Amino acid sequence: MLAYDNTSRPDLTQWSFTETEFNPLAQGKCESIMSLGNGYMGLRSATEEAYIGQTRNLFVNGTFNRFDEFEVTELPNAADVTGMDIYIDGERFSLDTGKTAEYARSLNMRDAELTRSFVWENRAGKRVRFAFRRFVSLGNLHLIGMKAEVTPLDADISLRAVSGIDAQLGNSGSQHFHEGEKRIFDKTVMQLIQTTTESKVDFVIHAAHRFSLDGQPLSIEPKMEIERRKMAMQYGCDIKAGQTFELQKLASVHTSRDAEHATDYDLAVMREQAREEIRLALDAGYDALFERHRQAWAEVWDKYLFRIESKHDFDLLALRFAVYHLVVMTPAHDNRMGIGAKGLSGEGYKGHSFWDTEIFILPFYIYSGPDVARRLLEYRYQGLEGARRKAKENGYEGAMYPWEAAWPTDGEVTPVWGAVDIVTGKQTKIWSGFIEQHITSDIAYAVWHYVQATGDRDFMDRCGYEMILDTAKFWASRLEWNEALARYEINEVIGPDEYKEHVDNNAFTNYMAHFNMELAIQYYELLRREQPELFRRLNEQLDLERAYADWKQKLGRMYLPQPNEDGVIPQDDTYLQKQLIDLTKYKAQQKVGTLFEDYNLDQVNGIQVSKQADIMMLFYLLENRFSAHLKHTNYNYYEPKTLHDSSLSYSTHCILANDFDDSQLAYELFRKAAEIDLGTHMHSSDAGIHSASLGGVWQCVVMGFAGIRMLDGALHLNPKLPQEWERLTFPLYWKSARLEVDITHDALRISTDANEELTLIIRGTATSFVNQLELHF
Ligand code: IFM
């Protein structure tokens, strides 16, 4: 059970949510949605004591390893430092036994701290209050702080705690680490050094404890244990009724992938520095370390300062939840890393990056933290090497970005085999890595979007032109000439709607490829005219003059699907001829994917049913190429056939519903998007949170209800608050000026420190101002 209000901490209203009952059968939910992290590492919030059904995960961004040649590379699950077994009078504490009262596990997003407390009664009837706290530091990216307080309420107890570093875990059975080296220093500091088996990334993990009784420091002689892939310390203490015993555990993680070791790496130096760091952390203690972390988060919330005044407290909570996880999952510290489709909160999608980043998450950073947006695009720039290799291997030119990406130079890492085919009993083949190709133009689009909004010419010169020009080269080589129809086509693809495989002329793919080439033509001409030296260099590198002639020749003859007599744009060549079935049951489903309980993917391919926004995504990204009427007609055709089985679907539909002035529907769709992880479905997040959908929640608010859009290089605002809301305020970066936007039903106020005149298009009218703008509707 989840509660969204916080009665015991009114200061945390709309900042925290709580699990009010421990459910051993639904541990994945809170492990994921309450996961902690700092972009460097992500820690799933599994309980200290072990239960069947839990998943203990600690991922360090960028540390990909390939188990063997039959699997693709993935983020290895590092050794667990959070496990702790507590024995009361010899009985192992577990919520599976005895009685539990006053249970609450909360994520305080303001301070990024996980807390858990309850009163547990053991078999002998002794009641003990437990309180756990935990954070993954934003002040020091390598540090994890934990604290456990144990207070016997009505009788003395004897306590034993076993706590250590456990590397006996893996990723669903795959073990990514060599056994490694273990040592305990001064009966205090545990040190584990392990190396990944294929990528040879060294991990140095430390953990150490300190204790107090009723606030007085306590020294306890431990019993030490070292076993295979595991080490632990055992501590014992007698506690009188009413006394509080506190155990603090500080842990740290360093790897040879860390940016500071990129050029000058020496394991001996790293382990010594890390050991010194944990010693200092132990001296400082949880509270002091937490204070530094809390201040770092206060700066985050200052930077992304937004407010929603709504009839429903849930709405602001949901936006904060989205931003909390976006910060936790994003490697803002290192441009060699991307964002995983599940962030760093679970094994799902193996830590790989998809178009989720560029199309769903990047807009949040473009408009609220452009420095981070640039780093994410630099990651893709470094990925050009793998993208060029993929193009070559497939017989194309230029850069063909991988559908799933890991370390920048890895190239394509999409696995080949997936879920069971209910008809054949075999595994279903995952075709995305071969034929879901729109990612290439999605990345080019993102570069263009970023530079239009920020005006970052330096990024364009260093990376952006090359990315757009080389991706356009890929598309030109990818086009197929249809002699009978005298046009260029793109056949045999998967579009955004993954329920349609091996289709010809997916509208989204064709239009976006066309956009990519069109952009390349414009940039080619601009560079040639205005930056001859850069042009010369890129021309030499990419053979641009030949490519330009090719683009010019092909662009005008490219097939862009047009509306039929009913005004419906065919999603692909055959979609509109496929079978229509009654989808009522699946539209009303309580969990995603129920269609596959009745059909296999081959059969689904033959039905007019969609997984997610496809043409709708096209309307959103290239919105001024289509009329409002056409968009609405197509929405009415495709939405009833869309099961929103991908978490990427609701937010796009929400934004379009807003554009159609259906603000009630838009609000309902916003809620659905927000509830994918934060809602009460107890299994939707088992494999990790849904990164794209969290970016989508932010987009529902800013691109949807505030109506922000970048069109033809201008910033448009078309605010339409839902009836439930009174007010919306948020920061917005536009061409390096920071704006504070404040929207109510009858007014729009914008303020900025930039002393230059700004021109924005507000509800269709160009409006200029310096510093302040106030408009009443
Ligand atoms: O990128 C998405 C895709 O659109 C739908 N399936 C899941 C992927 C990762 O989130």
Residue 411, Ramachandran bin (φ over 0: left; ψ between -120 and 50: alpha; else beta): left
| Contacts for 520 with CB less than 8 Å, ≥ 6 apart | 468, 469, 471, 472, 473, 547, 548, 551
- What's the chain's Rg over C-alpha atoms? 27
If we measure between CA atoms, which residue out of 30, 46, 51, 157 comes closest to residue 94? 51
Tell me, in angstroms, the distance from the centre of ligand 1 to residue 683's CA: 18
Question: What is the average per-residue pLDDT within 133-146?
Answer: 98
- For the chain, the helix, strand and coil percentages under 3-state DSSP, each to the nearest 5: 35, 25, 35
- What are the tokens at 658? 């807003």
Residue 6 has pLDDT above 80, yes or no: no
Question: What is the average per-residue pLDDT within 338-352?
Answer: 98
Backbone angles phi, psi at 651, to 5 degrees: -60, -40
Question: pLDDT tens, 487-546?
Answer: 999 999 999 999 999 999 999 999 999 999 999 999 999 999 999 999 999 999 999 999
For residue 341 and ligand 1, the question of a CB distance below 6 A is answered with yes
In angstroms, what CA-CA distances link 81 with 13, 59, 131, 180?
A: 31, 12, 18, 16
| Contacts for 341 with CB less than 8 Å, ≥ 6 apart | 348, 349, 352, 353, 354, 356, 688, 690, 691, 692
Own/partner pairs, 542-545, CB within 8 angstroms, 24+ separation: 542/398, 542/466, 542/469, 542/470, 542/473, 544/469
| Contacts for 499 with CB less than 8 Å, ≥ 6 apart | 595, 601, 604, 605, 609, 610, 611, 645
For residue 356 and ligand 1, the question of a CB distance below 6 A is answered with yes
| pTM more than 0.95 | yes
CA angle 540, 541, 542 (to 5 degrees): 100
If we measure between CA atoms, which residue out of 746, 750, 749 comes closest to residue 720? 746
For residue 460 and ligand 1, the question of a CB distance below 6 A is answered with no
- Asked if residues 600 and 423 have their Cβ atoms less than 8 Å apart, the reply is yes
If we measure between CA atoms, which residue out of 713, 768, 247, 732 comes closest to residue 526? 713
Question: What is the average per-residue pLDDT within 391-401?
Answer: 98
CA dist 58 and 423 (Å) reads 37
Mean pLDDT score of the chain, rounded to an integer?
Answer: 97
Query: Percentage of residues in the chain with pLDDT exceeding 90?
Result: 98
User: What residue's CA is closest to ligand 1, atom 9?
Assistant: 341
| Contacts for 767 with CB less than 8 Å, ≥ 6 apart | 759, 760, 761, 773, 775
| Contacts for 110 with CB less than 8 Å, ≥ 6 apart | 12, 15, 16, 297, 301
Tell me, in angstroms, the distance from the centre of ligand 1 to residue 703's CA: 21
| Contacts for 743 with CB less than 8 Å, ≥ 6 apart | 705, 706, 719, 721, 727, 728, 729, 749
Residue with tokens 């009654």: 582
Residue 742 has pLDDT above 90, yes or no: yes
Question: What is the average per-residue pLDDT within 580-599?
Answer: 96
Residue with tokens 């929207």: 743
User: What residue's CA is closest to ligand 1, atom 7?
Assistant: 646
The DSSP result for 111-148, as a single string, is TTEEEEEEEEE-TT--EEEEEEEEEE-SSSTTEEEEEE
Residue 262 pLDDT class (50, 70, 90 cuts):
confident
- Asked if residues 744 and 726 have their Cβ atoms less than 8 Å apart, the reply is yes
If we measure between CA atoms, which residue out of 391, 370, 541, 521 comes closest to residue 446? 370
- Asked if residues 716 and 733 have their Cβ atoms less than 8 Å apart, the reply is no
Q: Which atom, in ligand 1's list, is nearest to the CA of 692?
A: 10
CA dist 634 and 775 (Å) reads 34
Burial class of residue 423 in the structure, from the number of CB atoms within 10 Å of its CB (0-12 exposed, 13-18 middle, 19+ buried): exposed
753 labeled part of a ligand binding site? no
- Report the SS3 class of residue 355: helix
pLDDT value at residue 8: 83
Residues involved in catalysis: 498
448 labeled part of a ligand binding site? no
If we measure between CA atoms, which residue out of 117, 307, 123 comes closest to residue 702? 307
For residue 354 and ligand 1, the question of a CB distance below 6 A is answered with yes
Residue 646 has pLDDT above 80, yes or no: yes
- Asked if residues 401 and 383 have their Cβ atoms less than 8 Å apart, the reply is yes
612 labeled part of a ligand binding site? yes
Residue 526, Ramachandran bin (φ over 0: left; ψ between -120 and 50: alpha; else beta): alpha
* Residue 171 DSSP label: B
| Contacts for 546 with CB less than 8 Å, ≥ 6 apart | none
Pocket test of ligand 1: the residue of 329, 339, 349, 356 to mutate, having most ligand atoms within 8 Å of its CB, is 356
Strand 16-19 to 99-108 pairing: antiparallel
Residue with tokens 């996980």: 114
The DSSP result for 419-470, as a single string, is EEPTTT-SEEE--HHHH--THHHHHHHHHHHHHHHH--HHHIIIIIHHHHHH
If we measure between CA atoms, which residue out of 82, 73, 377, 104 comes closest to residue 248? 82
Tell me, in angstroms, the distance from the centre of ligand 1 to residue 731's CA: 29
Pocket test of ligand 1: the residue of 353, 498, 620, 642 to mutate, having most ligand atoms within 8 Å of its CB, is 498
If we measure between CA atoms, which residue out of 644, 537, 550 comes closest to residue 588? 644
- What are the tokens at 737? 């000026």
Backbone angles phi, psi at 206, to 5 degrees: -125, 150
Q: Which atom, in ligand 1's list, is nearest to the CA of 691?
A: 10
CA dist 676 and 458 (Å) reads 38
Tell me, in angstroms, the distance from the centre of ligand 1 to residue 696's CA: 13
- What are the tokens at 613? 């926004």
For residue 592 and ligand 1, the question of a CB distance below 6 A is answered with no
For residue 498 and ligand 1, the question of a CB distance below 6 A is answered with yes
For residue 648 and ligand 1, the question of a CB distance below 6 A is answered with yes
Backbone angles phi, psi at 718, to 5 degrees: -140, 70
* Backbone CA torsion sign across 641, 647, 653, 658: positive
CA dist 321 and 14 (Å) reads 9
Question: pLDDT tens, 188-225?
Answer: 999 999 999 999 999 999 999 999 999 999 999 999 99
If we measure between CA atoms, which residue out of 435, 433, 463 comes closest to residue 448? 463
Tell me, in angstroms, the distance from the centre of ligand 1 to residue 641's CA: 18
Pocket test of ligand 1: the residue of 359, 648, 651 to mutate, having most ligand atoms within 8 Å of its CB, is 648
For residue 646 and ligand 1, the question of a CB distance below 6 A is answered with yes
Question: What is the average per-residue pLDDT within 717-733?
Answer: 97
Query: Percentage of residues in the chain with pLDDT exceeding 70?
Result: 100
Q: How many residues does the chain have?
A: 777
User: How many alpha carbons fall within 13 Å on the CB side of residue 650?
Assistant: 27
Residue 167 pLDDT class (50, 70, 90 cuts):
very high
Tell me, in angstroms, the distance from the centre of ligand 1 to residue 691's CA: 10
Q: Which atom, in ligand 1's list, is nearest to the CA of 611?
A: 5
Tell me, in angstroms, the distance from the centre of ligand 1 to residue 698's CA: 18
User: What residue's CA is closest to ligand 1, atom 6?
Assistant: 646
User: What residue's CA is closest to ligand 1, atom 5?
Assistant: 646
Burial class of residue 179 in the structure, from the number of CB atoms within 10 Å of its CB (0-12 exposed, 13-18 middle, 19+ buried): exposed
Cross-strand bridge partners of residue 495: none
Pocket test of ligand 1: the residue of 345, 347, 354, 499 to mutate, having most ligand atoms within 8 Å of its CB, is 354
